[in-house]
Amino acid sequence: MGKKKGHNKPQPANSPIAPQAVPETPEKLNAIAEQLKSFSPKKGQATPPSTPEGSNSAPAAALPLATSTPKAQEKADKRPAKAKGKPEDLNDGDGKSRADIENERKAKKLEKQMKKEAATAKKKADAAAGNAEKPPKAPAKEAPANKGQKDAPKTPQQPSKPALKKHFASSDSSDSFNMTANGSKNVSFKEKNIQPSNQYDLTERPAIRVSSYFVHATPHNVHPAFRRLAAKCEFKKLNGVNELLLAFHKTLIEFVEDYNPRPDLPFSESISLDLQPQLCCLSDNGVHPFPQAVGNLIRLFKKQIHELDNTKEICDLKTYLKEWIENSAYYNFDLAEKAIVEFTISKLKSMAHRRILTYSRCPIVEKIILTAAEQFNDLHVYIVDDPNNGSRGKTMLESLSEASIPCTYGHINSIGYLVHQASVVLLGCSAILNTGRVVALRGSSLLALSAQAVNIPVLVAAKTCTFVDKVRLDEHLSTALLREPIETIPEDLVTALVTDLRIVPPSSAPAVLKAKQLGYDN
């Protein structure tokens, strides 16, 4: 697990997932800088898209900070002797903190060496300095106050923009979570083959930047379970939203298990505070949105935390949360899948010829087919696959042929031929939008289109936990954890959604949202 390289100090058992206290003396800071210099980012070659930005903005940020106050430099020199984390730090003339100034000095030193190492080391020191501002020793009320004050003087002032950029760039190029390497598929294509839907480039920012609460994910304040999850996703060990959701549940349980709340805050506030950097780590600080169903889970989890009764014991609260997560996993996976399988089979019973056409691999559809094969013996499955994108249909083909179900396999160009032979189309989805549009793997819409042309029904297996209260016209969003290409299937091409509640037409999506209280206003 190369990703854990940055996390080189074990966390003491009774401290929250919070940083080690950063020693204040310049010598120790220099020592850390040396240590960080020798550590090179794992995918150094992949960082170029962000490092030039990072390195450009970092020296740019350094310069205004450096040149503006020689006085502040002197102040900084004196400051290490003082106690740390006091509010008077923030009452500087230009709102800089002592740690920032120390960073400048380091940056200037390192800039003389290789620029790349200088940028990363500075960012590392920056992050460490950033964490020094919320040490466990800081007084309780000042922790949020510090942050608030820190943000407030920063924003209206001149160095604010480069400072923000610095933070932004640093979190982007933080090597532990840098996923640019696997993201862009277009490496081998020439410049001309660029379409808007092909841009899975991860350094792209969305058009609207949601101003979120910037807490960077650093090696220190992120639980290793989340980083493991991110690593698994990057190495494509998790295919599809279903596996991702299950893994996410497990990660959340681990997190709650290991979590020790801050002594100064009530449990619910403290855990929601510390949940933030974990999520930032996974989503690159809000640059990439989560896949829809995962976003649902996070929202509900946060809601649960919010509704916690803080007067209870901490271990009680933790067990409550863990139970909630486990229940959610049980209801949304085991039970929901059983229900969906039952509903679909009852539909298949009424058909004369059971010839199912499906696209790539959806674990729920696989379950449906395997269960149906036990009941019916005239089942025939046609699997359409996309060879450019992992050929996951082949894994489905394997499991089905092991169960000795007669199968036919083809690529997308065989849709026109296979659709004349099938009698029903079964698709999986990763989310259902408010309007009834289905978010599914790219290519599923072609099946739905051909099926409509020959008048066969299209059924989409959708768990109610994947219903989201969002409206989207279009597809090609590169989501935070899953790099698979997705698209939306228009609702008029879908005959029905098989949910764990009942089989509904796509126009009933808002009703399902209401029934399950997944709406935003609830």
Residues that bind another protein (CB under 8 A): 188-190, 192-198, 382, 386, 388-389, 394, 397-398, 401, 404, 406-418, 420-421, 442-443, 445-446, 449-450, 453, 474-476, 485, 487
**Residue 476 C-beta: closest distance to another protein, Å:** 7
The Cα 286–Cα 84 span in angstroms is: 30
The nearer residue to another protein, 82 or 353, going by C-beta atoms, is 353
**Residue 201 C-beta: closest distance to another protein, Å:** 16
The nearer residue to another protein, 224 or 240, going by C-beta atoms, is 240
Q: Are strands 503-504 and 496-498 parallel, antiparallel or unpaired?
A: antiparallel
The nearer residue to another protein, 67 or 195, going by C-beta atoms, is 195
CB 429 within 8 A of CB 499: no
**Residue 402 C-beta: closest distance to another protein, Å:** 9
The nearer residue to another protein, 298 or 383, going by C-beta atoms, is 383
**Residue 460 C-beta: closest distance to another protein, Å:** 16
Please report the sign of the dihedral spanned by the C-alpha atoms of residue 377, residue 378, residue 379, residue 383: positive
Report angle CA 221, 216, 53 to the nearest 5 degrees: 140
The nearer residue to another protein, 135 or 457, going by C-beta atoms, is 457
The Cα 495–Cα 337 span in angstroms is: 20
Q: List Cα–Cα distances, 52 to 44, 59, 285, 375, in angstroms.
A: 12, 11, 19, 60
* Closest to 480 in 3D by CA, of 183, 250, 127: 183
Q: How remote is the C-alpha of 46 from its chain's centroid?
A: 19
**Residue 465 C-beta: closest distance to another protein, Å:** 26
CB 50 within 8 A of CB 180: yes
**Residue 445 C-beta: closest distance to another protein, Å:** 5
The nearer residue to another protein, 229 or 418, going by C-beta atoms, is 418
Q: Label residues 145-159 b or e (16+ Cβ within 10 Å = b).
A: ebbebbeebbeeeeb
The Cα 374–Cα 293 span in angstroms is: 31
The nearer residue to another protein, 14 or 413, going by C-beta atoms, is 413
Q: List Cα–Cα distances, 255 to 16, 57, 268, in angstroms.
A: 11, 34, 14
Q: How many CB atoms lie within 10 A of CB 259?
A: 18
List residues bridging with 503 in a β-sheet: 498
* Closest to 73 in 3D by CA, of 101, 109, 110: 101
**Residue 46 C-beta: closest distance to another protein, Å:** 23
Please report the sign of the dihedral spanned by the C-alpha atoms of residue 357, residue 361, residue 362, residue 366: positive
* Closest to 240 in 3D by CA, of 485, 512, 503, 506: 485
Q: Using alpha carbons only, how large is the chain's radius of gyration in Å?
A: 26
The nearer residue to another protein, 115 or 380, going by C-beta atoms, is 380
The nearer residue to another protein, 442 or 483, going by C-beta atoms, is 442
**Residue 295 C-beta: closest distance to another protein, Å:** 23
**Residue 296 C-beta: closest distance to another protein, Å:** 25
Neighbouring residues of 186: CB distance < 8 A, sequence distance ≥ 6: 193, 194, 198, 199, 200, 201
**Residue 192 C-beta: closest distance to another protein, Å:** 6
The nearer residue to another protein, 326 or 475, going by C-beta atoms, is 475
